[in-house]
């Protein structure tokens, strides 16, 4: 009887361990697949340039509908030379501010999974490091009739400016900071009727994203381009 009891307890213990392992594995997978916005890292020789990508990661259906994302950097170490948009629904301004690149855009159909929203080319001015910090102004999905804010995890990047002779054997390395443990909540989307000027127009446009289809896409992208151009003009005048 005692032997049977011990066997029964052992089986139950093994089953409990297996169940616990399955729960932990599922939790780990869920965490690994959380929605995120990331910017890459690179090591560059002073006086030369290289590019890093801004990406939306693991975006679930209905997909990413609208975004305004800033990438800030240490202007005493690096400078942003240019910014390109691998996807046609994104607009990027490398001269948004003296230490900030801005990426904005919209997709009526929603961007799911992993998407490269922009590729930024940085040049090293001097030896040193510069953190590339992701700043979320707006991140919304493409829910029909009522776009919802997305609260992504954030993974910042790092530019290391160092002469190749001073790098470890094996050539340039690309250290990548760990994602923040706590997801960063995107700016809450206001009601469509709130705000004034460009903000109100942008809110109305996002709120009607799915109703107007591609026309709304063109409006959002156009508004984003207008805002970036105005900001660039103000920077040039200063």
Q: For residue range 133-175, list pLDDT tens digits in order.
A: 999 999 999 998 999 999 999 999 999 999 866 554 334 434 4
- According to DSSP, residue 149 is labeled B
- pLDDT given at position 163: 81
- pLDDT given at position 6: 52
Minimal CA–CA distance to 46: which of 129, 159, 125? Answer: 125
- pLDDT given at position 81: 98
| Higher pLDDT, residue 64 or 11 | 64
Confirm whether pTM is higher than 0.75: no
Q: For residue range 74-106, list pLDDT tens digits in order.
A: 999 999 999 999 988 999 999 999 999 999 999
| Range ranked top by mean pLDDT from 108-122, 181-195, 210-224 | 108-122
**Cα separation of 204 and 142, whole Å?**
14
Could you tell me the two tokens for 189?
A: 């989307």
Judge contact between 198 and 223, C-beta under 8 A. yes
CB atoms within 10 A of CB 236: 8
Q: For residue range 26-57, list pLDDT tens digits in order.
A: 443 444 469 999 999 999 999 999 999 999 99
pLDDT-based confidence at 238, cuts 50/70/90? Answer: low
Could you tell me the two tokens for 66?
A: 């609208």
pLDDT-based confidence at 10, cuts 50/70/90? Answer: low
Give the list of residues 6+ apart from residue 13 with CB closer than 8 angstroms, or none: none
pLDDT (average), residues 199-205: 42
Evaluate whether the domain defined by 36-237 bears CATH number 2.60.40.680. Answer: yes
**Cα separation of 146 and 153, whole Å?**
22
């Amino acid at each position: 009887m005692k032997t049977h009891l011990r066997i029964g307890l052992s089986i139950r213990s093994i089953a409990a361990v297996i169940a616990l392992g399955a729960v932990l594995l599922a939790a780990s997978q869920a965490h690994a697949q959380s929605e995120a916005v990331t910017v890459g890292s690179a090591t560059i020789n002073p006086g030369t340039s290289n590019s890093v990508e801004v990406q939306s990661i693991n975006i679930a259906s209905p997909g990413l509908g609208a975004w305004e994302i800033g990438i800030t950097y240490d202007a005493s170490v690096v400078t942003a030379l240019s910014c390109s948009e691998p996807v046609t629904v994104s607009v990027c301004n490398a001269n948004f501010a003296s230490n900030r690149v801005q990426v904005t855009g919209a997709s009526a159909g929603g961007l799911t999974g992993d998407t490269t929203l922009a590729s930024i080319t940085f040049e090293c001015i001097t030896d040193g490091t510069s953190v590339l910090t992701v700043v979320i102004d707006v991140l919304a999905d493409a829910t029909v009739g009522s776009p919802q804010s997305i609260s992504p995890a954030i993974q910042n990047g790092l530019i290391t400016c160092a002469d190749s002779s001073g790098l470890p054997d094996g050539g340039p390395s690309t250290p990548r900071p760990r994602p923040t443990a706590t997801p960063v909540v995107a700016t809450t989307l206001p009601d469509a009727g709130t705000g004034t000027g460009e903000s109100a127009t942008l809110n109305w446009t996002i709120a009607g994203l799915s109703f107007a289809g591609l026309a709304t896409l063109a409006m959002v992208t156009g508004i984003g381009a207008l805002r970036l151009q105005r900001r660039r003009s103000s920077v040039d005048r200063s």
